């Protein structure tokens, strides 16, 4: 029998689950624009994934020349 979670697909939950991967943040964080990483980190934090949000920002900021944008 399917659980309620399996019955109701939550695209935001799936997005957050995929993008809370620290290895993905490590490989892609520096490729995003400041605005892109800000909204991604904001969504992760809003869904309770604070460590993942900080990881994305840290990986991005290591290569970002505009630290005042974050
Ligand atoms: Zn930046």
- What is the tens place of the pLDDT at every residue in 31-63? 999 999 999 999 999 999 999 999 999 999 999
Residue range 17-31: mean pLDDT, rounded: 95
Residue 21 within a domain: yes
C-alpha 66 to ligand 1 mean position (Å): 5
45 domain-assigned: yes
pLDDT number for residue 1: 78
pTM: 0.85
Contact by Cβ (8 Å): 12, 44: no
Instruction: Kindly give the distance from the C-alpha atom of residue 61 to the centroid of ligand 1, in angstroms, as a whole number.
Output: 6
Residue 69 maps to a domain: no
**Number of domains composing the chain:** 1
Residue 40's nearest CA partner among 28, 8, 1, 9 is 28
Is residue 70 included in any domain, yes or no? no
Range(s) of the domain holding residue 47: 17-62
SS3 at position 47: coil
- Per the prediction, the chain carries an average pLDDT of 93
């Amino acid at each position: 029998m399917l659980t309620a979670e399996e019955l109701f697909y939550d695209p935001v939950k799936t997005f957050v689950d995929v993008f809370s991967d620290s290895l993905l943040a490590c490989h892609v964080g520096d490729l995003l624009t400041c605005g892109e990483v800000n909204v991604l980190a904001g969504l992760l934090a809003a869904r309770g994934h604070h460590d993942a949000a900080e990881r994305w920002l840290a990986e991005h900021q290591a290569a970002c020349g505009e630290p005042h944008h974050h």
